[in-house]
Structure 1
Amino acid sequence: MSAVETFNGLPAERLEKDLLACLAAPSWGAEIIAKRPYPDRAGLLAAADAAASALSWPDVLGALSAHPRIGERAAGDSKEASWSRTEQSAAAQTADDVTRAALIEANRAYEARFDHVFLIFASGRSQPEILAAARERLGNGEETERAIVRDELRKIARLRLERVLDAL
């Protein structure tokens, strides 16, 4: 049985927990569950991408509240916290003290400007790359930044959903 067939057959209550760990927006998980069965992995991932891209801004803000600041270690033993630590670990290992301090300052400036955490798909990126992106995005207008944040959230959710599928 394929992972998608297993996914299609799991009880909704079981999937809700895994999907909330992927993206802390209950409406996203509910939509993915409601659209089962999926024909294949690509179909499931496409549906997940579409659902993430269509999230309301209040849903995005709710999902952002589950993400630690870039450079901070996610607390707890939840699946989501573990994934967050993994996603940021490579970046954390590539930063010197000056870069870490600059990233803390960029986080503060970003939060003051946009009133939410700076979110970026950190997997595979160094802290200097993340810092450059944070500084660049400080110049964005509200609508431009909202579109970027929504897409970064989508990419993170997709990576995590792939992890869920790989574990089935």
Structure 2
Amino acid sequence: MPTVNPAPPPDGLAAFNALDAGEAEAELLTCCASRAFARRVAAARPYPDADRLAAAARAAVRELDWTDVLEALAAHPRIGQAPGAQDTGREAAWSRREQSGVGAAGPELLEGLAEGNRAYERRFGHVYLVCATGLSAEELLERLTRRLGNDEETERDVVRTELAAITRLRLARLLGTTPAPEGTP
């Protein structure tokens, strides 16, 4: 009897929709490390298209309890401090890629980022989170410095917005698609 090669597995959104709940949650945790986020987005499958998945993810991030946001923040390295050599997973690679604008920064600018990170963590009690993709070290430091002036409520809203933007980009990478322009539902 001839050997029949099985059909290749589906890719992108079809593959994501076909995962069992645990596998889908594990994939989603690479995009946003909140278990509540992963459960909510996985439970709403199947998604008819990537834009609907992105909209569901954005809504899920925006509606997270603050403790769930803090859980997600714990998975992010400080800006200017790339993941360590032991961090070899997909999230670490994505973080390095997202922070690539810091790579050309001189020691003075890197020290400014390190000091800004410390000041931010003292003020707000968590890592400074920014969607760093496409930003230079100078832009990242300027945003950090500006955000140090925010009150707690304003900063929490900014953090949710940044987390949603990062999650959107990572979901697109997960699916092998190009993310829709910012602001697309």
Q: TM-score range by the shorter chain?
A: over 0.9
Q: Which residue, 5, 8, 14 being the options, matches 1:5?
A: 14
In the TM superposition, 1:19-168 aligns within 5 A as 19-75=28-84, 76-89=87-100, 91-166=101-176
Task: State the distance in 2 between where 1:143 and 1:2 align.
Answer: 40
Which amino acid is the alignment partner of residue 87 of structure 1? E
Q: Deviation string for 1:62-112 (max 9, x for gaps)? A: 1111111100011311111111111112x1223122111111111111111
Q: Which runs of 4+ in 1 moved over 3 A?
A: none
Shift in Å, 1:55:
0.7
Stretch of structure 1 that moved more, 6-15 or 137-146: 6-15
Q: TM-score, normalised by structure 2?
A: 0.86
Which amino acid is the alignment partner of residue 133 of structure 1? R
Task: State the distance in 2 between where 1:16 and 1:55 align.
Answer: 16
Contact 2:12 2:174 in 1 (8 A): no
Which amino acid is the alignment partner of residue 38 of structure 2? G
Contact 2:124 2:152 in 1 (8 A): yes
Task: State the distance in 1 between where 2:162 and 2:19 align.
Answer: 28
Shift in Å, 1:61:
0.7
Which amino acid is the alignment partner of residue 122 of structure 1? A
Q: TM-score, normalised by structure 1?
A: 0.94
SS at match of 1:124: coil
Q: Deviation string for 1:5-33 (max 9, x for gaps)? A: 22211222222221111111011111111
Q: Which has the larger radius of gyration?
A: 2
How many residue pairs end up in the alignment?
166
* Cα root mean square deviation, aligned: 1.3
Contact 2:24 2:42 in 1 (8 A): yes
Runs of 5+ in structure 1 lacking a partner?
A: none
Which is helix-richer, 1 or 2? 1
Task: State percent identity of aligned pairs.
Answer: 48
Task: State the distance in 2 between where 1:142 and 1:13 align.
Answer: 34
